[in-house]
């Protein structure tokens, strides 16, 4: 473990998010990214920033818990097995546990701070139904 204080300056983070919707700050990352991150094999921490409306195909994680805090904006989830919808606004904090199958859509200007543990790419894409496809287009 590094025995010094590590820092990533605000200007560096903002610059990296100009061309990337998701930026990891901490983790043992296998893919290169714009920002130099803090190496750690226990968890992943990052920021997602959507300038425009954005939706993610339905998926689930086999092991990871994703803890998320809405810095600004609005994001919505649909549990694709039950059809239940969740809406999160600025200041809300929530967790998506492993195994829950969901689709997500975010309004323009949404920023989300997230912590994922355990780290690693355990995302599994699932089949998209017509109902979910329509929901992902937005209201």
Annotate 26-53 with b (16+ C-beta within 10 A) or e (fewer). bbebeeeeebebeebeebbbbbbbbeee
For 129, which DSSP code? P
Instruction: Locate 60 and state its tokens.
Output: 């689930």
pLDDT at 2: 61
Residue ranges covered by each domain of the chain = 10-136
Residue 11 pLDDT > 80:
yes
pLDDT at 31: 83
Instruction: Locate 116 and state its tokens.
Output: 């994922």
The least confident of 3-7, 79-83, 97-101 is 3-7
pLDDT at 82: 95
pLDDT at 32: 84
Domain topology for 10-136: Jelly Rolls (2.60.120)
pLDDT at 10: 95
């Amino acid at each position: 473990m590094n025995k010094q204080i590590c820092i990533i300056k605000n200007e560096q983070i903002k610059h990296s998010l100009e061309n990337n919707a998701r930026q990891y700050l901490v983790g043992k990352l296998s893919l290169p990214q714009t920002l130099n991150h803090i190496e750690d094999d226990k968890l992943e921490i990052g920021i997602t920033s959507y300038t425009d409306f954005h939706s993610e195909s339905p998926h689930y994680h086999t092991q990871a818990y994703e803890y998320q805090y809405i810095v600004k904006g609005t994001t919505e989830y649909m549990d694709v097995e039950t059809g239940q919808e969740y809406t999160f606004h600025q200041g809300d904090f929530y967790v998506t546990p492993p195994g829950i199958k969901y689709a997500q859509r975010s309004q323009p200007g949404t920023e989300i701070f997230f912590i994922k543990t355990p780290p690693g790419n355990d995302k599994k894409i699932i089949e998209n139904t017509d109902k979910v496809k329509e929901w992902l287009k937005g209201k």
